[in-house]
Chains A and B, each alone.
Chain A
Amino acid sequence: MNSLIIEGSPKTPNINFDGDEGSFLISGRSIPENSLDFYKPIIEWLDTYINEPKEATIVNIRLEYFNTSSSKCLLDVFKKLEVIFKRGQKVGINWYYEADDEDMLEAGEDYQSIIKIPFTMIEEE
């Protein structure tokens, strides 16, 4: 499957979803005014991916900031992947946060409490 690559901007994250490897990365900052517009093609790409997913899918979230408008969209991303996890396929989410950034850690824990996919919280210096 094709990859989805979207270059980051001051308000939108880098997206690098490698469909062949099942390795997904969202990094940078996600603070657009209208997150629904930004995440729409990502959700559409995932709709295709979940029909023919890799045996293992790893998602790396390395966000510096995200706004509340993006938080729902991120949940939508995770919900799409939860579909294949519930089908018995391997999915994992690595949630990176900077040391001392309790807010980002808590944000990861929010998703962890809602989504059934295993989360790994990774503190970075």
Chain B
Amino acid sequence: MNFDLNQWYSEKIDEDAIFDYMGRIEDEDVTDILHSIEQILKDRNEPPKLFKKVFNVLVELVQNLHHHGEVPSELDVSYEKFGVLILRDEGNQYRICAGNFIKIDGLRLIRDRIDQINTLSSTETQSLYRIILENDQFSEKGGGGLGMVDIARKSGNNMEYQFFQYNPNFLFLAIDVII
């Protein structure tokens, strides 16, 4: 059975969800999302260290959605960048869930990348970050593969991920980061 995005989304939005967004991720949407979340975190009076960690990871995740969030034709929308973002307060930790569609042929690259990063110790993550930073081969999108490494480094936790088959050409990728 094909993946039902709306059902998946509604199941994620329980009482722990303190922010949720599903839709267009153009420049102005990124700005609005970050502004809203910053306000939510401010209102919760989180210690600056935790606040900055959560916000930093959110920035990378939202901008990942902006750069990589594909739109399958079945979505029937007029824009070209689509993503889902949910911030959950699970009591002793925050969980950020970011979801977007990817083309099936991109599966291996992303899966291998996350698996590789998840095996690294914090020192190895730092080393990998520096190697990529020093390497001049950055993409047009500017990230150069640093985003995922930065997320792992700042969160200090493994990224959890799931892929769901959406149609013959697209998968839905959901990444959870715990802080």
Contact = CB atoms under 8 A, between A and B. Distances in A.
Interface of A: 10-11, 31, 33-36, 64-65, 67-69, 71-73, 75, 98, 100-104, 106, 110, 113-114
Interface stretch (B26-34, B69-77, B111-119): B26-34
Where chain B touches its partner, the secondary structure class is helix
Contact of B130 (A31, A67, A100, A110): A110
Interface of B: 27, 30-31, 34-35, 47-49, 52-53, 55-56, 59-60, 63, 66-67, 126, 129-130, 133-134, 138, 140-144, 146-147, 150, 154
Given A10-B35, A68-B146, A101-B49, A33 B63 contact: yes
A65 B52 contact: yes
Where chain A touches its partner, the secondary structure class is helix
A10 B34 CA distance: 10
Given A103-B52, A110-B126, 18 more contacts: A10-B34, A11-B34, A33-B27, A33-B63, A33-B66, A34-B141, A36-B140, A65-B59, A68-B143, A68-B150, A69-B143, A72-B133, A72-B138, A72-B146, A100-B49, A101-B52, A110-B129, A110-B130
